[in-house]
Every structure is written in C-alpha cells, then in structure tokens.
Structure 1
C-alpha cells in the first residue's frame, strides 16, 4: 500500500478549509464567483500546458532538443549553461513563467542527465529564472497583466521593468554559477544521438509545439491555444500510443494547493483580515515606500502565493512606480517556499517525474540567499530608471 506523504495531507487539509469557506458562506457568493472567473483560465492553462509537456516528453521531443543543445555545447558545460540561461529567459519573457516551468524544465533535466552532470543547478536556474525573468513584459506573468493597464500599457511597463529584469537575471545566475562552479566549468563527452522510437509521433508533437509557442506569446487568453494543443496531442496519442494517456498527466496536487490558497486568501481578504497590509499607501516617490512594498510583496508571495499576494497588496500601490515595486516583490521574491508561485509547484512536479529529488530545506536556503539581494538590487535600479 502506497504511503501518503505529509505534503499530500497538508494539501487535503487546505482543500477542506477552502471548501468550508465556500459552502458555509464565509467567502461571500459574489466574491467566490468573481474569484472563480479570475482563476479558472489560469488553472485551465496549467492543466493544458502540463498535458502538452507530458505527451511531448513521451514523444521524445525533449530528448531530441537536449541532444541538439549537447552538440552545440561542444563538450563545455559553461557553454551549455549559457544556452540554458538564454532558453529559460526567452521562454519566460515571451511565453510566461508557467510555460518555462513545464516545457523548459524537462529539456534541461534530460540534457544534464544525458551528459552525466548534476541536474540540480540546471533545474534551479530554470525555476529561478522562470520567476525572476517574468518581470519583463505584461505577457510574462499574470501579475503583470493585472498591473499593465494601471502602469500605462506595454511601452510604459517595459520602460520601468527592463532594468529590474536584468537584475533578476544576473544576480540569480551569478549565485548559481558560483555555488555550482565545479559543475559549470567542467567538460563532457557529447552523447551519441538517438532516433525517436516513433518518428510520426515525434514530428507531429514537434509541429504542434512549434505552432503553440508563438500563439502563447500573441494570444491574451493563453488557455485557448494550450487547450487546443493538448486536445490534438491526446487524439494523436489515442491513435499512436494509447497507454501514454493516464490520469497522472494532470498535476492534481499542485492544482488543488493553488486553488485552495486562492480561496483561503480571498476569504481572509473579504473578511477584512488583511486590511493591515494595505492601510499605508505608497506614492512611488519615497524610497522607503518602494522597499516596503517590494519586501511586503516578496514575504506575502512566499507565504500565500504570488498571485493572491498581488491582488491583496495592489490597493497599497498608488502609482506606476509603486506598482512596479510591488511586482518586483511578487515576481522576483517567490524563490523560497514551494507554494510561492504556481510555476514552482509545476516545476517540482516535472523534476520528480524525471527522477530528480531536491530537499526543500536546501531549496528554501538557497532561495533566500538569491531572493533577498535580487529584490533589493531590483528596487534600487527601479528608482534609477524612474528618475
């Protein structure tokens, strides 16, 4: 009989609390309905993109991509490291952090395993950059989309975000490079290329991904193209490899945890329990206000997840610069707890399915080491670009 882990029991307890909040009316019906409309597309996208990633892996798409990267690395891990960083950044900026957590993670894990080096630095680089590079554009993170109109649209958004985003890339990568220097500066033998077992399945899945990627960058409702791609792959696998279609394709535990946190935080907000967080309003002119907002955003994101943290703290930001400071906190800060962002939960689901284990105590330690200087430096450069 399979033993149920502590994490599963925690998720079950949170789901029960969330259900009680809704059923007992502690969360008013109108608020519950509004919350459902807001998070349903997000969770729908997560389900669809995860199914896409799982089936693309089964079709050997990630194996072939990792083999190509290994050849480009020419036997030097440092060059591969640069390629992985670039891949994670580009994916996050244009396709969103959740897409990076789901799609890029298996590529870099398989890559590290194929050349015989530790996958841990590659895995951490992917999830750290999925969060910290997600400040760049409105499409990079749902929190950005929520703030973009108030900041003034894509142009005004990027004018404030580009410098903090560079900090969000440089600082975490520098820390990982220093800590894992023995791995990063090592050499490797290029693995022998292997052909996909089912070329029809491989090329069909590759074509679906190539069509999906630009649509994710160009479409506001990203759950729609992701759902179409997931359905296409399910039909394809039903014809070519039916045994690959299984319930475990869906990250049930991550979804349940995210949904429960949304409901619980919204309930606390509706009952006025979180008003103390938003009582002081930042004008954006004071350095103290900006640091306070960013710190509050980072702490709240690690406590209750970055999206509900943003929604709770948004009223405390009085102008575009203050909103960007808040985004720095909720985007660059959630590197510490596993539930700080949905991307981290999805990332962990991916690495476990690929046989990679990481101690949460170590994740929390190094996440803290990275998050604190990254958020502080990002606020400093925000003040510089804001004038």
Structure 2
C-alpha cells in the first residue's frame, strides 16, 4: 500500500513535468521504451516465482540443500552464497531476488535456523554480485554499449566483481557466525500436493534458467521473452489444476507504478539542474581519489534515487573505462542502504512479505551503511589494479 501511494505521487510529479514541458514528451517516451523491457521481465518472473512456490518447488529445493549440507548451518550458508553468486552472475540480480529468496526462507525454516541471515545474504549478493557479466545487471549492458568502455568487458570487470562479492560475504560471515553455528537434522521432503503442477513448474524453471543465461548475450533474445513464456505456461497450468491460486495479487502492480513514477520524477529533476549538480560533484580524473569520489557520488545517488536512474544521470561524466567501471561498482554494489536503491531489493522485500518474514528497514539501512562504503571503496580501488 505504501509503495503504491509513493509510486502514485511520483507518477503525478512526472506527468506534471511532462505536461509543463519540463520533461519533453519525446524524452518521456524514450525513457518508457528503455524501462518497458525491464518491467516486463519483473512482472513475468514474479508470476513464475509465485506459481512455482505454490507448486511446492521451493520446498523440494530447500530440502535438497539441507541434505547436501549434512546438518551444518555454516555449510548450508556457504551453499546459499555460491548459489546466490552464480544466479546473479548468469541470470541477473532481479532473478536472484525473486527466485532464490523463497528458497532460502523455506530452507532456513525447515532446519530451524533464522531466515534473516539467509535473506540478507540473498539481497546483498544480488546487488554486489552483479558486476561480472553484461547480463548480470542492466547497468552493465548500458555501460558495455558505451564507446568509452571499449571491448572485453569481463577482462576489465572480474577483479572488482570478485572484491564486491568477497567483502560482503566476509561481513555477513562475521555478523551471522552465532546464528549459523548450529547443527540440525535434515528434514524429509514435504509431500507434493499436486504432482502435475509440480512437474510442470520444475520443467519450466529448469528450462527458464539457461534461457535467461544465454538468451540476451548469445541469441539476442530479450530476457523478458522467455520469462513471459514461462509465466504464461505456468498460469495456464495453474488455471487448470488450482484456479484458486491465481489472482491479480500475483502481479507486482504497486512496484511497477513506483518504478514508472520514480524514473519520470528523477529524469524531470535532471532537467531542473540535478544533472549539473551531479556533474560538479563527481569531478574528473582517473586517479584513486578521483574514482573514489565518483563512486561515492554514485553510491549516494543510487540510494537516494535508485541505481538505474543514478547510472543514467552520471554516465555522461564517466568519460573513460576506469571511470565507467567505478560508476558501475557504485550503482551495482552500493544500493544496500535504502529499500528503493535497486529494483532487486524491492522484489526481494516483496518475496519476504509473501513468505511472512519481516526485516526492519532501519536494521537493513544500518547494516548497509557498514557494508556499502567498504564494498564500494575496495572494489573501486580494484579497478586500477
């Protein structure tokens, strides 16, 4: 409800800016064309996650992970770290936020551990782990297409990407050491209520994962296409098998409204002088202090206005490979403080709410204030190595 109200207010602000000419209509249309595929993917993958959870797929995956860890809470957490990083790198941060979150919550509950360390691990690594490949984050795709970046994206991104994963993992390991230092008895797999629906969900998700990984970079098929096909197949199957599971609540409409309003409002503010202000704050140069300055501005801007608008606003002041990569570090690994800093965080929170898990935004922000500066700072310095 709060997200819908905020989104409605921001959307009204944006529409007023268009009506008064502050934001030209042509620019608003161009902005819509850029974010429409992202929102299409978000809606489709949210539907996939909801129906797959209803089918019992995440319960089975959680039981499998619990058996693999052989009763060690710390080993179980390491498995979650590895899966979160792999999912983010190859499938994108939004996919990790939507598909992995219900798995780790179910997993923690099944073995008697607190779901909070597992949930925080998922959302932190969804953001900080999204530097390695272009497909990992939409900001990477935008940067890769920038002439200033050159070629061989992975050759330039791998070391900052590794640092951006290792730093938050180390922080989480220290913060969660007591909560994870427990043994448990691996629980048996829960019975499947509707086997045909379960089988269809398992096959669809199994096919969707590689489709998302190779579609955009190899086949040049936008990720929203396979996600939409998967959502339609699961929705039709659920309508035939469990029609009561389908409702408009499956669609993340408040989130879509919020994102549309946010992008319009931030773009309009750019026309009113925000872009000039950010340009002056970000400075120039490619030395260590120059890159840290740019990354600091990018981190603050991402946490105030979402990481994608932050990247678009600061992209013109990057200018070369080192500065573009430092900006990517900031807008990918820095959005750990405010709930709206990245779309992945909002999606993650939606999955937690659906699972009746509540994380205080105050606690989230305090932990983010610890992790974001360390992660962004060290990963930015790695850009120069």
TM-score by length of 1: 0.95
Superimposed CA distance per residue, residues 72-94 of structure 1 (whole angstroms, 9 cap, x where no aligned partner): 11000111011000010000000
CA distance in 1, matches of 2:240, 2:358: 33
2: CA distance, partners of 1:215 / 1:319: 32
Once the two structures are TM-superposed, the CA of residue 379 in structure 1 deviates from its matched residue by 1.2
2:238 is paired with a residue whose SS is helix
SS at match of 2:377: helix
Residue 152 of structure 1: aligned partner: 150
Task: Decide which moves more: 251-260 or 121-130.
Answer: 251-260
1:188 corresponding residue in structure 2: 184
Deviations 1:192-250 (A, max 9, x none): 22221111111111101111111111122101111111111111111111111111111
Q: Is 1:251 matched up with 2:249?
A: no
Instruction: State the number of aligned residues.
Output: 378
Q: CA deviation at 1:15?
A: 2.6
1:168 paired residue number:
164
Deviation for aligned residue 1:179: 1.1
Please identify, of 130-139 and 246-255, the stretch whose mean Cα deviation from structure 2 is larger. Answer: 246-255
Q: 2:62 aligns with which of 56, 61, 66?
A: 66
Correspondences of 1:8-87 after superposition (within 5 Å): 8-87=4-83
> 1:114-168, CA deviations, whole angstroms, 9 ceiling, x for partnerless residues?
1111000000000000000001111100000000133223xx2112211111111
Residue 363 (structure 1) aligns with: 364
Deviation at 1:283, TM superposition (A): 6.1
Q: Please give the secondary structure, in 2, of the residue aligned with 1:195.
A: coil
Output the CA distance in 1 between the equivalents of 2:161 and 2:282.
24
In structure 1, the residue matched to 2:374 is 373
The corresponding residue for 2:308 is 307
Residues 116-265 of structure 1 mapped to structure 2, 5 A cutoff: 116-150=112-146, 151-153=149-151, 156-220=152-216, 221-265=222-266
SS at match of 1:134: coil
SS of 1:214's equivalent? helix
The 5 A counterparts of 1:236-385 are 236-279=237-280, 285-384=286-385
- Structure 1 unaligned runs (5+)? none
Q: What 5-or-longer segments of structure 2 have no aligned partner?
A: 217-221
Question: How far apart, in 2, do the equivalents of 1:15 and 1:196 lie?
Answer: 43
Deviation at 1:292? 1.1
Contact 2:305–2:340 (CA under 8 A) maintained in structure 1: yes
* Cα shift at 1:382: 1.3
Partner SS for 1:11: helix
Deviation at 1:270, TM superposition (A): 3.0
Task: Judge conservation of contact 1:302–1:340 (CA < 8 Å) in 2.
Answer: yes
Change (3 A) 1:273 1:296: closer
Distance (whole Å) between structure 1 residues aligned to residue 173 and residue 4 of structure 2: 33
Q: Secondary structure at the match of 2:191?
A: coil
- RMSD of the alignment, in Å? 1.4
3-state SS in 1 of match to 2:274: coil
Partner Cα separation in structure 2 for residue 136 and residue 350 of structure 1: 25
